[in-house]
Structure 1
Amino acid sequence: MLSRQKVLTTALGLIDEQGLDGLSLRALARRLQVSFISLCNHVASKDHPLHIIHEAPLAETIRTLGGSAASWQVRL
């Protein structure tokens, strides 16, 4: 089953191995061992994996700082 985290991890692996140019939806689908169409059901556009990659560090930072009583803006 595909998840956002699995797509993110796999996309980052492809980028590490082949550079940003190596990341495509078809390459990502092959690496995930799913059909291109199945991946398209989980990814809005060819740029979507890049959006997930950009969001991941911010989301992790917010989760890490989650225990604070301050607003998320102050915690960042």
Structure 2
Amino acid sequence: MHTGLVIRKLRPRAYDEAIYVGHYFRTGVPVVMDLSALPDAEARQMVDFAAGLVCGRGGDMDRLTDRVFLLLPAAR
């Protein structure tokens, strides 16, 4: 049975792709953010961005692996 749950997996290759993480999260879509393609400095920036997004918009962020995070928007 299909529940209709949509989860978006993103693997940014540059920090400027944070816009896509923000877009999906703000529209209520959980995001799996895989930072394995980013250099360390940009990966830290992306984690900081995601933490601010989660704090400002509500929701939760969980680390799944060293460089993979799950961003869960607040329940509607």
Measured against the shorter chain, the TM-score band is under 0.3
TM-score (norm 2): 0.27
Structure (1/2) with the larger helix percentage: 1
TM-score (norm 1): 0.27
Identify the structure with bigger relative contact order (alpha carbons < 8 Å, sequence gap 6+). 2
Structure (1/2) with the larger strand percentage: 2
**Could you say which structure has the larger radius of gyration?**
1
